[in-house]
Amino acid sequence: MTEETKNNINIDGADYAMDDLTPEQQKILTHIADLNTKIQNVNFQIEQLRVAQSAFKNLLKNSLNAPVEEAQAAADTAKAESEK
């Protein structure tokens, strides 16, 4: 939508000189730039949250499987000792 160069801005294919914009238009551009930064930050945080969520899911799966694995290991050990 907007592409800013040193003293010009391109909005939907039209170039505008920053000095020709009204203070209100410049303020709107500042809002747009700030919102773009915030959107990037939120997307970064979402990525972090998804990774953390995946890690917690794996922890839960591992904790649910641990008793079964421990019981199986104990059974294997008992069987091996009985065969001696």
Please enumerate in sequence order all residues whose Cβ is within 8 A of that of 32, keeping only pairs 6 or more positions apart, or say none.
1, 2
Question: What whole-number distance in Å separates Cα of residue 29 and Cα of residue 54?
Answer: 38
Of 22-26, 54-58, 62-66, 80-84, which gets the smallest average pLDDT? Answer: 80-84
Which residues partner with 52 through β-bridges? Answer: none
Q: Side chain identity at 17, as an amino acid letter?
A: A
Q: Specify the pTM.
A: 0.63
Percent of the chain with pLDDT over 70: 90
